[in-house]
Chain A
Amino acid sequence: MSTMDRRSVLTSAVLGGAALVGATSLGSLAPEAAHAHRSVSLDASVPDPNFAEGRVAAINGGLLTVTGSDLVLHRIRATEATSIWKLHPTSLRAVEVGDGLYARGVPLPDGTLAADAVWVNIVNLHAHIRAIGRNVLSLDHRGQPIVAHVVPGVTAASYNGTPAVADLSLLRVGRHVQVLGAWHPDSNEIDIATVYAAAN
């Protein structure tokens, strides 16, 4: 069964109120593959109906109520087939009230978004290294301090685009880095998933 077929099954399951776990046996949808060879050409002044973002206000089973940053309320339906990222691939159980998220899926007639993928607390910061401590980087992001925690077993570095490795010893104070990580809600702290840096 192709990825697009699986995606349709997921949507159909939600639409029909059928057993949502039915999609589970098909495997989680990899977000990049879920829209294979798709072209999206919307009017850029109109919000993408397949996308939602904001802070989680409530969780009821698989239904996330999310307050958008523009104060629009979103209802996002996640299933076991939904790809969920929170520092690393995880499950709906890891999502908490107060988390920030981006979600992509299929809008349903009842106004909910059947989520193919949800990225929780994800940030992608372009920053300078102010200091390097034990398992922590102090970053300057647009003039604001960010405390970036190294998570053993998770955090990796990619130097000059090479495959990511656990060794962070080539990072240097003053250098520019791109840090993909997970925000600690209502703080200036993040956990680092991947730090992209030059090696020289």
Chain B
Amino acid sequence: MACGTNLVARGLMTWFCCGNAWGPCGGAGGGACGGCQSRLHHCAWPNRNAACFDITRPDRCGKSLPRHGCGHRFFVTNRCSGNCVGVVVQDCGPQTDLFCGQRNCCGDTCGEDKIIDLTPSAFSAIANLSAGVRPCRVDN
């Protein structure tokens, strides 16, 4: 159970804010699990439970993502740099089906469809926040 050793999925990662926050994020709250915080290494996963899956529908984009609930730990690798961060599921998201076919590339390395949202703390540990989206792999 570590970076790059037990593949769950490849796709795109993006970032979101939750918990105590400034600006438009101020009302974000603690996420579906209640404890989400932008300053911690947390994430949102599209198949947190059945109700979450009914909203995000990654299957509509051809993504088969296993169910993992609050507290599950993933390792997310930025495929552009090889940087990896450990994160814990604290919310439901991203809404994968709103953007089926979305791609992001760095050189010849590309990802398709959003599969995980990271908090600013986690995303900035492995990527530039101003990139917004990056190809990634998710491991257990």
Contacts and interface: CB of A to CB of B under 8 A. Distances in A.
Interface of A: 30-33, 35-42, 44-48, 50-55, 68-70, 85, 100, 102, 104, 117, 119, 121-126, 141-142, 144, 146, 160-162, 176, 178, 180, 183, 185, 188, 190, 193-194, 196, 198
Interface string B22-41: 11110110000000011111
Contacts of A198: 99, 101-102
Contacts of B95: 126, 176
Given A44-B40, A142-B27, A124 B16 contact: yes
Interface in B81-140: 81-88, 94-95, 98-99, 101-105, 112, 120-121, 124-133
A74 to B, nearest CB: 10
Given A117-B128, A121-B23, A142-B27, A69 B14 contact: no
Contacts of B132: 124, 178, 180, 194, 196
Contacts of B41: 40, 42, 44, 48
Contacts of B38: 53, 69
**What DSSP secondary structure best describes chain B's contact surface?**
mixed
A44 B130 CA distance: 23
Nearest to B41: A44
Contact of B39 (A36, A38, A70): A70
Nearest to B129: A119
B27 A39 contact: no
For chain B, give the interface size range.
35 or more
A31 B124 contact: yes
B116 to A, nearest CB: 14
A45 B40 contact: yes
A55 B21 CA distance: 9
A45 B105 CA distance: 32
Interface in B38-92: 38-42, 73, 75, 78, 80-88
Given A40-B84, A69-B22, A124-B14, 5 more contacts: A31-B128, A31-B130, A39-B83, A44-B42, A196-B132
B102 to A, nearest CB: 5
